[in-house]
Amino acid sequence: MADEKSEGGRRGAHDGAAPIVEKLRAELRREVRTLESTGLTPKLTVLLVGNQPASVWYARNKARVGEKVGLLVENLELPSSTTETYVVDSLERLNHDPSVHGILVELPLPRTFDKATVLNSIAPAKDVDGVTATNRGYLLGGQEEHGFLPPTPLSCLKLIEWAGEDPAGRDVTVVGRGDTVGRPLAVMLLSRHATVTICHTKTKDLAAKCRRASILVAAAGVAQLIGKEMVSPGTLVIDAGINSLPDGSFTGDVDFKAVKSVAKGITPVPGGVGLLTSTIVMANTIKAMKLQANRPGAGGGT
């Protein structure tokens, strides 16, 4: 993930996500005010185990974004010595707490934890990160409207659309097959009738496959993996990578300065996908609240 700004090709993708983020946040603020007039306030609980600096920053940033749109965001920060059983029990309590509408577990979890067990302990109706097997099943089965789409892949799609691009019939290359971005994004693109190429560590001639794309999404987690020679002129490039550098700064998976000279549009890091992602988490929380209001008891259980 990343942090601030991005618009997209025809609307100035080089500048970041700020315009679309401000537009979405304004819409969410209006929605929250409407809900508050009926006595309802959406609430998100973010559960964090340990004090890994990036995870702590992401969790606290969600609280800052929540404040901007009027959402209640509770950060439940647990020490690294916390057991997996305690975390699962905590999630069960949140599942059955009617005041909590969305639940998100900040990753990574301690190495001794079974990630699937923890994530699938979240009630699907409160799974605003779209990580449970139930919500992934809706995604894979082409039933997106029944569940929650993972925010980072959805951010990539929204930035593509904001650039004035329609994925239908386009050659889209996704570099990275991770559970957080690459895999779900590939399915979402297929649902939108794109012709998708997925590249990974075993891919041969990565550069050639990238050059064939009219839309390229980098989500490999390798700093500046994508260079100018790998991008055809006029390509829209979405950088969903975030990598820390020795000086404490961050960079994406794309060599921004070099690729910018040939790309139709390119999202920066920080300032692109990640900024939008945190806002989409808030949108999913509002959606969760509405679904639970329409289906009493939907939040409880797994």
Q: What is the pLDDT of residues 222-237, one digit of tens each?
A: 999 999 999 999 999 9
Residues 71-109: tens digit of each pLDDT: 999 999 999 999 999 999 999 999 999 999 999 999 999
Q: Which whole number is the average pLDDT over 45-49?
A: 98
Structure tokens at 156: 């990539």
Query: What's the pLDDT at 93?
Result: 98
Which has the minimum average pLDDT: 35-39, 138-142, 147-151, 290-294? Answer: 290-294
Round to whole Å and give the CA distance between 202 and 194.
Answer: 23
Query: What is the tens place of the pLDDT at every residue in 190-211?
Result: 999 999 999 999 999 999 999 9
CA distance 150 to 298: 19
CA angle (174 as vertex; 14, 221 as ends), nearest 5 = 75
Measured between alpha carbons, how far is 127 from 150 in angstroms, rounded to an integer? 9
Contact between 43 and 101 under an 8 Å Cβ cutoff? The reply is: yes
- Residue 127 pLDDT > 80: yes
Which of 208, 273, 222 minimizes the C-alpha distance to 2? 273
Lowest mean pLDDT among 13-17, 203-207, 216-220, 287-291: 13-17
d(CA 262, CA 229): 9
What is the tens place of the pLDDT at every residue in 8-17? 334 445 557 8
pLDDT at site 15: 55
What is residue 14's predicted lDDT score, i.e. its pLDDT?
A: 52
Whether residue 290 is predicted with pLDDT greater than 70 in this model: the reply is yes
Counting runs of H as helices and runs of E as strands, what totals does the chain give? 10, 10
Torsions phi, psi for 175 (to 5 deg): -95, 105
* pLDDT band at residue 273 under the 50/70/90 scheme: very high
What are the b/e assignments for 70-91, b being 16+ CB within 10 Å? bbbbebbbeeeebebeebbebb
